Amino acid sequence: MKTLASLFLAVALCVPVVIFGSDVRNVVFPEPQKIEISADEGTTSEAAKNLRFCIDASCGNEGYRIEILPEEIVVSHATEAGKFYAEKTLEQLKNHYGNALPLLRIEDAPAMRWRGLHLDVSRHFFSVEEIKKFIDTMAFYKFNRLHFHLTDGPGWRIEIKKYPRLTQIGAWRVDKTDREWNWRETEIPLGGNAETRKLYGGFYTQDEIRELVRFAKERHVVIVPEIEMPGHSFAAMMAYPELACAGNNVPVDGLRGKDMVCVGKPETTQFFIDVLSEFAALFPESPIHVGGDEVWHECWLDCPDCRARMKRENLKSSVELQTVFMRDIIAFLKKQNREIIAWDEIFAGGLSDEHVATMVWREPELGYRAAERGPVILCPGEWLYFDMYQGKPESEPLAIGGFIPLEKVYEFSPFPQDLSEKARKNILGIQANLWTENMTTMAHVEYMLFPRAFALMDIAWHGAPRNYARLLEQIRLQLPNLKARNCNFRPLEK
């Protein structure tokens, strides 16, 4: 048998190494950081069953090494995540080459810690089985964060024992799925039995949530639950009208922009603390996302309780009402030693807390400034909102608007040249957001996700966009994998 040293020839010469028809560097997605191919091109290993795992601290947190030798395959890793990613790489190699694997050596590790996908299950609801499939596909491509948008105006999707009406009422709305999205104004009926009326909706029981968390953990995906506050709270206020400001006729005003809870009443803060306590127990290892986006602060000026709080706390503007409300929520979670995330707006009113990660959905510059203070996740709407059109609206399913084709996603460069070292370290990663106003089925979600998720992952794994032509070739080689997983996608040639 040849020695390892002579078997492998570093192919750092940038010549594509074509084995059995396709460049081996294009077969595994995301493309590993380094692949060295055996000098004996065409030699294969039938040793797929002869797998040996070794611990090697030098592989780092999510990294791994694979050596495919004639008689065995050696996988080195420092963590269980690294081992899992090595297994996914081998799975992809086997899917492509069968049992006759090319002799090679891979060294791999991601550039970014947060490789996320967001899924809105409020606007449309997806079953536990569908979410499991989504997570499994994420894991196959080494995504590691599922931002689970569980509460919003059109539906509350998680059982909270202390407040049963959140799901008895807030999880159901009059079924208007036969109409175009624009005509589907949310109508949550009070009372009645969801089973016997034609209502749209659903929610996850606490047992189902625990099962999803377990399933995701096995695949090294952290589910990051979000509870929206103080805005996007129509469903919660329909269930518990006392959360609303005095004078807010929730069924009518709540749909006309007044969907903020009353932040003047201490009972509102207590409500969210109670809900968060159940969240914290259900997601014991997750950061918790506390929402905070798209708040119409001025509407609080009509409320005596909110005005009284402004006076009591000497606040100069209604924006600061959000600041003090979030401050109390954050203080509660900090006491529980929880990691916290919020949308970028919550910092507008002077809140400054290096403990809270900023999730930036507006301009990335907001993120670069925030990264001077603390952790940041970038999901800017201009590049990473996968609810936008991928092609000409006439030939696409209805989308929210905009135009973000694959090429556009691949233009997003998370690290500008002039970023300080501190800010660079604080940028945890990137994610794409799937708001599901128009996505009524998981097949549609998948269509919006792929192939754009490949561009996102390539940037997350390597830290920057690279070669678009190569990406296209790599995507082409992934389509059989998507088909085999029964996962929908938008065809490349469309």
| Beta carbons of 44 and 100 less than 8 angstroms apart | yes
Write the binding mask 293 to 332 for Zn ion: x where contact by CB under 5 A, - elsewhere: ----------x-xx--------------------------
Site membership for ligand ACM, residue 437 (CB under 6 A) = no
CB of 231 to ligand ACM, least distance (A): 9
Residue 295 contact, options Zn ion, ligand ACM, none, Cβ 5-8 Å cut-off depending on partner type: none
| Beta carbons of 81 and 109 less than 8 angstroms apart | no
Q: Which residues lie across from 18 on neighbouring strands?
A: 23
For 193, residues 6+ apart whose C-beta sits below 8 A from its C-beta are none
Residue 305 contact, options Zn ion, ligand ACM, none, Cβ 5-8 Å cut-off depending on partner type: Zn ion
Q: Which is nearer to ligand ACM, 203 or 361 (CB)?
A: 361
Sign, CA torsion 359/365/369/372: positive
Q: How far apart are CA 384 and CA 117, in angstroms?
A: 10
Write the binding mask 390 to 429 for ligand ACM: x where contact by CB under 6 A, - elsewhere: ----------------------------------------
Q: Which of residues 56, 72, 136, 294 is near ligand ACM by CB under 6 A?
A: 294
Residue 294 contact, options ligand ACM, Zn ion, none, Cβ 5-8 Å cut-off depending on partner type: ligand ACM
Residue 293 contact, options ligand ACM, Zn ion, none, Cβ 5-8 Å cut-off depending on partner type: ligand ACM
Site membership for ligand ACM, residue 461 (CB under 6 A) = no
CB burial of residue 410 (10 Å; 0-12, 13-18, 19+): buried
CB of 278 to ligand ACM, least distance (A): 23
Q: Which of residues 343, 386, 450, 461 is near ligand ACM by CB under 6 A?
A: 343
Q: How far apart are CA 31 and CA 12, in angstroms?
A: 15
Q: How far apart are CA 68 and CA 36, in angstroms?
A: 10
Q: Which is nearer to ligand ACM, 293 or 305 (CB)?
A: 293
Task: Compute the 3-state secondary structure of the chain and give helix, strand, coil in percent, each to the nearest 5.
Answer: 40, 20, 45
The span of 127-135, 171-179, 245-253, 286-294 binding Zn ion (CB under 5 A) equals: 245-253
Q: How far apart are CA 494 and CA 482, in angstroms?
A: 17
Could you tell me the two tokens for 325? Answer: 């409300």
Could you give the residue numbers annotated as active site? Answer: 152, 232, 294
Chain residues in the site for ligand ACM (CB under 6 A): 293-294, 343, 361
